[in-house]
DNA sequence: TGAGAAGTGCACTGTTGGTACAGTACTTGT
DNA sequence: ACAAGTACTGTACCAACAGTGCACTTCTCA
């Protein structure tokens, strides 16, 4: 997580993306106007179109940045947790605990997921963006599936446990948890859901000797 | 599920709501235009404003209808499943199986949830609508929590199992599963996630005698 | 058949996304 | 210190859309 030195242009672009991300998560992409973004960024319309070809180009940049950042966060978490133990199950559970703590430490309710937001507005976007969205989800899935398969090698899963579904369930819980925490305005909801998922993983691979 | 006889006005209103629901789930509320709705419904703009005060009024009607319908579906499912057994755990598991079958039988990927869609665009709406959205989620939560508490009375949950979180997890799994199935365009995803949740419930209340 | 429900038609306002292009100030390597 | 970009500003314009207001017509059903 190094702090890059940005040129003036890159800094403006990042500022626009920050403002756009916030607005899109609160109002949706269609209701986010270029006018409001440039007003907040202190820029003219021409300035905006210097950085982005059109609104669709903004969407693509937004999504790409979001996916890249979150892949880094996930990787970082699993690297840190696997340094603490050699046991894949133990390491995964520690990683999930890190993740839950991270979410619990957010000052407000989770701001929302760009992938989920775009999923519910996908007909506004070009094919590239929908593909990019799917690629993002597949990247998360792959990271989790690898770990669960490592675990399953050492610990036979309890009957009825579907490893692939269990991997996707992690993403589903996070996406669903974000929706619940936002809708109900319950800040603790998301971390609690991650911990509930963690408990399922624990039960799913629990050795049976009492 | 009786088929109501609709007056002409009610039929037009329902037609508008059907079109709006479909469009909103695909493009988002902000990007859904009144023009496109009236074009598809074969109506003039004045005709639209005869049925709805403004776009916000349309949103409210859309959400209310969605929540009412789905409460009915859930109730119906649990009534049917509880007729088959006296055991609350068994009944809940049967209900979840019904639900998964229902989702698996959908011709395409799930069309999406209005509550989730609105959650990601909530700053577009008035306070009433946000409150209504929360009320919808609380209604689902209550229905599930009642059942889980009944189960917990008879079967002591395994250590680490959080009944309240487990209730919310059902909604989270469905919302998250919808997002995954849509984003990845995998039709089977949603039912599979519900079955994975069902398996967690089974493990969570499993009696320990081997 | 008559009253109200369910519309049509028209004229208008203001906002937004987007295009086009000429000009300018700031920055950076050499 | 200067040239060559980089990062903008200013102006002028268009079409699509939300929304308002009101007079008028047609359809429906008790």
Mapped onto helix, strand or coil, the DSSP state of residue A30 is: coil
| Tokens found for residue A6 | 């940005």
Please check whether residue B197 is in contact with residue B170, taking contact to mean a CB–CB distance below 8 angstroms: yes
Q: Would you call A175 and B174 a contact, using CB atoms and an 8 Å cutoff?
A: no
Rg over alpha carbons for chain A, rounded to the nearest Å, is 19
Residue B3 has pLDDT above 60, yes or no: no
CA angle B73, B178, B105 (to 5 degrees): 55
Lowest mean per-residue pLDDT among A77-81, B72-76, B205-209: B205-209
Q: What is the pLDDT of residue A209?
A: 54
Q: What is the DSSP letter of A157?
A: P
Residue whose C-alpha is closest to residue B42's, from B10, B66, B19, B65: B19
Q: Would you call B134 and A183 a contact, using CB atoms and an 8 Å cutoff?
A: yes
Distance A55 CA to D3 C1' (A): 34
Q: Strand D closer than 7 Å to the CB of B46?
A: yes
Q: Would you call B158 and A197 a contact, using CB atoms and an 8 Å cutoff?
A: no
Distance B47 CA to C8 C1' (A): 8
**A25 inside 8 A of chain B by CB:** yes
pLDDT tens string A31-48: 899 999 999 999 999 999
Q: What is the pLDDT of residue B126?
A: 87
Residue B54 has pLDDT above 90, yes or no: no
Q: Identify the segments of chain A with pLDDT beneath 70.
A: 1-5, 208-210
Q: How far apart are CA A12 and CA A9, in angstroms?
A: 5
Q: How far apart are CA B167 and CA B170, in angstroms?
A: 6
Residue B209 has pLDDT above 70, yes or no: no
| E strand or H helix at B205 | none
Residues 6 or more apart whose CB falls under 8 angstroms from that of B130 comprise B118, B122
Residue whose C-alpha is closest to residue B191's, from A190, A168, A117: A168
Q: How far apart are CA A152 and CA A163, in angstroms?
A: 8
Q: How far apart are CA A194 and CA A178, in angstroms?
A: 11
pLDDT tens string B120-177: 999 988 898 999 999 999 999 999 999 999 999 999 999 999 999 999 999 999 999 9
For residue B8, give how far its alpha carbon lies from the nearest alpha carbon of chain A (Å): 31
Q: Report phi then psi at A113, rounded to 5.
A: -110, 125
- Provide the phi-psi class of A42: left if phi over 0, else alpha when psi is between -120 and 50, else beta: left
**B210 inside 8 A of chain A by CB:** yes
Residue B210 has pLDDT above 50, yes or no: no
Q: Strand D closer than 7 Å to the CB of A5?
A: no
pLDDT tens string B6-25: 677 788 899 999 999 999 99
Residue B32 has pLDDT above 60, yes or no: yes
pLDDT mean across residues, chain B? 93
Q: How far apart are CA A53 and CA B163, in angstroms?
A: 50
Q: What is the pLDDT of residue B208?
A: 62
Distance A64 CA to D8 C1' (A): 25
Q: Tell me which residue has tokens 């996930």.
A: A74
Residue B82 has pLDDT above 50, yes or no: yes
Please check whether residue B78 is in contact with residue B88, taking contact to mean a CB–CB distance below 8 angstroms: no
């Amino acid at each position: 997580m190094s702090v890059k030195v940005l040129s003036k242009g890159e800094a403006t672009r990042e500022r626009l993306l920050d403002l756009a991300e916030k607005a899109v998560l609160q109002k949706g992409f269609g209701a986010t106007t270029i006018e409001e973004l440039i007003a907040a960024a202190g820029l003219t319309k021409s300035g905006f179109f210097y950085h982005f070809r059109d609104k669709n180009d903004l969407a693509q940049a937004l999504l790409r940045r979001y996916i890249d950042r979150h892949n880094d966060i996930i990787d970082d978490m699993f690297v840190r947790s696997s340094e603490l133990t050699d046991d894949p199950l133990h390491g995964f559970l520690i990683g999930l605990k890190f993740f839950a703590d991270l979410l619990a430490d957010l000052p407000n309710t989770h701001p929302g997921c760009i992938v989920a937001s775009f999923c519910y507005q996908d007909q506004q976007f070009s094919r590239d963006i929908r593909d990019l969205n799917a690629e993002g989800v597949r990247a998360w899935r792959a990271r989790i599936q690898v770990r669960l398969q490592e675990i399953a090698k050492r610990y036979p899963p309890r009957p009825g446990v579907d490893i692939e579904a269990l991997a996707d369930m992690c993403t589903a819980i996070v996406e669903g948890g974000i929706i619940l925490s936002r809708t109900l305005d319950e800040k603790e909801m998301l971390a609690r859901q991650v911990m509930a998922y963690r408990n399922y993983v624990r039960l799913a691979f629990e050795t049976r000797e009492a």
